[in-house]
Amino acid sequence: MTNIAVVYYSSTGTNYKLAKWAEEAAKEAGAEVKLVRVAETAPEEAIAQNPAWKKHLEETKDVPVASNDDLEWADGFIFSVPTRFGNVPAQVKSFLDATGGLWFNGKLVNKVVSAMSSAQNPHGGQEQTITNLYTTMFHWGAIVAAPGYSDQAVFAGGGNPYGTSVTVGQDGNMQEDVEAAVRHQAKRTVDIASRIHSK
């Protein structure tokens, strides 16, 4: 069985929802799946100023926090993170920076990775965030399983070949219907990981 870690960071819930869809689809594709969240490192006073952030953090407090053990266990990863000025959030950067030991010992070589993102407008840096995340994966020696245009769901979900991305309105609702694109991307990741890590 192929092991997949779905790793997400979400302040108000969008990337959590994307990650849940990916988790479901990866399980449907026959994978053993762990859904884990990147630890929240923002100060409590900052979180308290945004009721949606505080509410989501409380609602997901029982989701396990991602660790290097999860990365070592997995054959493949699906990351879902919001954009921060065209890059990954500081919380995600801290998590990635802590993988040096795994990288040094070659534990991340040939892992299969795919990524998704969100922003508040259609050109808010989603593609840049995904490719910046992939840059770290290239250093790991991982194999990127981008969706490309491998299924009609990619076009219907906005047409991002690097990874599913979504626009989130001021009301917190997703502007594009990306569920099918997320599910296709997750199943594609499982497929490629199973080919590379056939047991």
Q: How far apart are CA 56 and CA 184, in angstroms?
A: 26
Q: How far apart are CA 157 and CA 1, in angstroms?
A: 29
CB 160 within 8 A of CB 1: no
Where in the sequence is the domain holding 122, given as residue range(s)? 3-196
pLDDT average, residue stretch 2-18: 97
The token pair at 48 is 């308290």
Number of folded domains that form the chain: 1
The model's pLDDT over 20-51, given as tens digits with 9 standing for 90+, comes to: 999 999 999 999 999 999 999 999 999 999 99
pLDDT, the chain, mean? 96
> Domain containing 53 — which CATH number?
3.40.50.360
